[in-house]
Structure 1
Amino acid sequence: MRNSARSTQLLSISALVFLGACTGGPTPTTTAPTSTTQPAPATTTTMGEESEATRDFPDDLSILPERTGERRQTTGDVPHQQLNAAPVPEVDAELRRRVFALPGVEDRASERSLPGARGLWLTDGLELVRADVLGGAREGVLGSSREFAHIHPDGSLHVWLPVERAIEVHETKWGELHPWVDREGFWDGVVMLYTPESLDDLEVAVRIVVDAYNFITGENLETDEIP
């Protein structure tokens, strides 16, 4: 893989039904992390225990730059939200314009987040090579959902990524792993992307959303191909 050091950090990242995770629905018997400043720590697996979500995904993803400044303050629990964050209107508008311009993506009310969040929904005509990541291969748990990301009212997002890319997002401080990533379940690589505050931040956020889109659909779209 692109970064052998990160390969040794492969997570067995997974979340419970994300509707509960984002909205604060019924919790399992174990205790969720409660820090308001740090996300849940990443769990690691040994080589040979590579998550299914990292397989068959290209190695040529652009390396993310390090985000300057401190991490955003978040709840550190569910519902997983930023605290005291507000979008920059022109940046937020361009973010939404670009991600909803992805081929085969519809703007719908999110099925997996709090009221006001907008889901990035992959239309039925678009083939999904990793429907299992979204629950499409799991009976009885949001099995029909095609929502691979959503934008919260404050401009932050939750996205479904390959595990190594999710770790990179966390390590470079563009976002953080979901607090429940180390719990038994079936979604891997769920991360929050912090609200972009500048056009430079926006480019990174769009790049990550496109990575998630390519991962789920098997496409090889570049950000400069978005209308």
Structure 2
Amino acid sequence: MFDPPKRSGPRPATTGLEIPHDQIDQFSPAPIREALIEQARALPGVFLGPSQVSEPASLALRLHRPAGPWEAFLHPSPDEFAHIHRAGFLHLTLPQPMIAPLVAAGWAEPHPISLRPQWPDTIVMLYAPRDEDELSVVGTALRASWRQASLEEE
């Protein structure tokens, strides 16, 4: 059972649009975003590069050997399970049991595109971590996304 702590403060403002689905305030400070990227880089089998499904400045997290189910990836990419935007927020797929608790605790919102039947309903925006404590929660969600896509255990 996943029970994240309540995120402090109000939710960040977002566009609420399918494209662009952006967070427009409460960004990550540069050192926190860099620490998030380092966590991503350390995941086994992951390589980083420009997103195949988002703005080119987004940093994609892709797998050398994707093994997860269809709902573990950001389509149409066959191997991108997450990307980190310049402001520090992420779009990623999550195991279904994690989504409602993260949304209820103020950490995430479903991606509007996931309402379309040709897209998995596992795609969320995970808000930009603002400090080390928030980075810990975001890192937990990121590792869950990686496990779902790679079928690996830490």
**Normalising to structure 2: TM-score of the pair?**
0.90
Query: Structure 1 segments of 4 or more deviating over 3 A?
Result: none
Number of aligned pairs? 153
Counterpart in the other structure of 1:26: none
Q: Does 1:84 align with 2:25?
A: yes
Q: What CA distance in whole angstroms lies between the structure 1 residues aligned with 2:37 and 2:138?
A: 11
For the 8 Å contact 1:149–1:157, the answer to whether it is kept is yes
Percent identity, please.
Answer: 31
Counterpart in the other structure of 1:200: 133
Q: Which amino acid aligns with 1:160?
A: T
Counterpart in the other structure of 2:85: 152
Q: Which amino acid aligns with 1:129?
A: G
Q: Residue 127 and residue 93 in structure 1: after superposition, are their counterparts in 2 closer, same or farther (change >3 A)?
A: closer
Q: Which has the higher helix share?
A: 2
Counterpart in the other structure of 1:225: none
Task: Return the offset for 1:204.
Answer: 0.5
Counterpart in the other structure of 1:108: 49
Q: What CA distance in whole angstroms lies between the structure 1 residues aligned with 2:62 and 2:149?
A: 12
Task: Return the offset for 1:168.
Answer: 1.7
Counterpart in the other structure of 1:96: 37
Which structure 2 residue ranges, 5 or more long, are not aligned? Answer: none
Task: Spell out the pairing of 1:112-123 with structure 2 (5 A cutoff).
Answer: 112-123=53-64
Larger Rg: 1
Counterpart in the other structure of 1:219: 152
> What per-residue deviation string (whole Å, max 9, x for no partner) do you get for residues 41-82 of structure 1?
xxxxxxxxxxxxxxxxxxxxx421111211100001121001
Q: Which has the higher strand share?
A: 2
Which structure 1 residue ranges, 5 or more long, are not aligned? Answer: 3-61, 222-227
Q: Residue 127 and residue 87 in structure 1: after superposition, are their counterparts in 2 closer, same or farther (change >3 A)?
A: closer
For the 8 Å contact 1:161–1:215, the answer to whether it is kept is yes
For the 8 Å contact 1:161–1:211, the answer to whether it is kept is yes
Q: Which amino acid aligns with 2:71?
A: V
Task: Return the offset for 1:129.
Answer: 3.2
Counterpart in the other structure of 1:188: 121
Q: Which amino acid aligns with 2:37?
A: R
Task: Return the offset for 1:85.
Answer: 4.0
Q: What CA distance in whole angstroms lies between the structure 2 residues aligned with 1:167 and 1:105?
A: 26
Q: Which amino acid aligns with 2:34?
A: A
Alignment RMSD: 1.9
Farther-moved stretch of structure 1 (188-197 vs 146-155):
188-197
Q: Residue 134 and residue 214 in structure 1: after superposition, are their counterparts in 2 closer, same or farther (change >3 A)?
A: closer
